[in-house]
Amino acid sequence: MKLPHNVKNEAEAESYEYFDRHIRALPKSASGKIDPKQDGFHDNDVDAFRHAYVSGVFTQEYGETAADTFGRMNENLDPASIYSNSTNPGSKNMDLWNNAVGRKYGLKFRDRQHLAKALHKALKNGEMIIDLKDKREYLGANHDPVNKTKPVIVLQEGEKGRNVLFYDTVKKQILSAGEFVALIEGAQYPDYAVKTIHGVPTPVSNPDNRGTNNLG
């Protein structure tokens, strides 16, 4: 399975290429390559399409729950990244809204070509927020899903709903359930514990009265 940050970088590049080719030309460097460092990439239709596309790709790769988690992580933990670098407080609402649009279509289409076309249509139809003056409000979860002492999130669930893959957002490592259990038992993750659920050793978060715990 691809690492999430690699998927993110790949999807961002694809979103810009599609937008430049099918919607309108984007600013480019002297060498002719699309240059996201220039003006014109944030708090507008380019920004909206990028967020929706990346979120849709994450949904295809990891599922809706993980895509939502990664989207909120970017808004809360990495405000200076290319994914979310606006200083306008309305940007977070805009980004979370467009992330949700991306998840919606990521569930409907399993390949990126059809996802991009569907999001292009959604952009034309006004489903995305492309202007900070838009009064629509995102009503889903917007909190930070991780903290410094509990950096692990669920990356993939099995057919029966059991968590089978995990991702350490600090070390940027994918862990199987067995690997995570072994590391917890080896005191590598002191804020997590192992419980036997239906006869299977299962990683869980230690209680902390934090409603945002990804592992419960």
Q: How confident is the model at residue 157 (pLDDT cuts 50, 70, 90)?
A: confident
The residue assigned the tokens 């014109």 is 40
pLDDT at 46: 98
pLDDT at 2: 87
Task: Identify the H or E element spanning 202.
Answer: strand 200-205
Checking if the pLDDT of 44 tops 70, the result is yes
Q: What average pLDDT does range 175-186 have in this prediction?
A: 96
Task: Identify the H or E element spanning 201.
Answer: strand 200-205
Does residue 68 fall inside a structural domain? yes
What are the phi and psi torsion angles at 126 (to 5°)? 80, 20
9 and 88 fall within a common domain: yes
The closest of 52, 66, 213, 29 to 126, measured between CA atoms, is 52
- Rounded Cα gap, residues 47 and 38, in angstroms: 13
Q: What average pLDDT does range 121-129 have in this prediction?
A: 98
Q: What average pLDDT does range 164-190 have in this prediction?
A: 95
Q: Would you say the C-alpha torsion 77, 59, 21, 97 has a positive or negative sign?
A: negative
Q: What percent of the chain has pLDDT over 70?
A: 91
33 and 88 fall within a common domain: yes
36 and 97 fall within a common domain: yes
- Rounded Cα gap, residues 162 and 25, in angstroms: 45
35 and 86 fall within a common domain: yes
Does residue 33 fall inside a structural domain? yes
Does residue 98 fall inside a structural domain? yes
Checking if the pLDDT of 36 tops 90, the result is yes
Identify residue 105 by its one-letter amino acid code. Answer: Y
CA distance readout (Å), 178 to 8, 89, 167, 170, 184: 26, 41, 13, 19, 10
What residues have CB less than 8 Å from 8, skipping those under 6 apart? 54, 58, 70, 83
Strand locations in 133-199, DSSP E?
152-157, 163-168, 173-176, 192-197
pLDDT at 49: 98
77 and 163 fall within a common domain: no
77 and 180 fall within a common domain: no
Q: What average pLDDT does range 23-48 have in this prediction?
A: 96
Q: How confident is the model at residue 161 (pLDDT cuts 50, 70, 90)?
A: confident
The pLDDT tens digits of the residues spanning 48-84 come to 999 999 999 999 999 999 999 999 988 875 444 444 4
191 and 114 fall within a common domain: no
pLDDT at 75: 84
Task: Return mean pLDDT, the chain.
Answer: 90
Work out how many domains the chain is built from and give that number: 2
pLDDT at 212: 52
**113 or 2: which leads in pLDDT:** 113
49 and 94 fall within a common domain: yes
28 and 76 fall within a common domain: yes
112 and 157 fall within a common domain: no
The pLDDT tens digits of the residues spanning 189-203 come to 999 999 999 899 999
The runs of H, that is alpha helices, within 23-63 are: 45-62
HEC-encoded secondary structure of 110-121: CCHHHHHHHHHH
Domain boundary among 104, 124, 144: 124
**215 or 143: which leads in pLDDT:** 143
Largest CA distance in the chain: 61
Domain boundary among 108, 124, 140: 124
- Rounded Cα gap, residues 28 and 212, in angstroms: 40
Does residue 214 fall inside a structural domain? no
pLDDT at 164: 92
119 and 172 fall within a common domain: no
Does residue 51 fall inside a structural domain? yes
pLDDT at 144: 80
**87 or 36: which leads in pLDDT:** 36
171 and 73 fall within a common domain: no
Its domain, for residue 190, covers: 152-205
Task: Identify the H or E element spanning 200.
Answer: strand 200-205
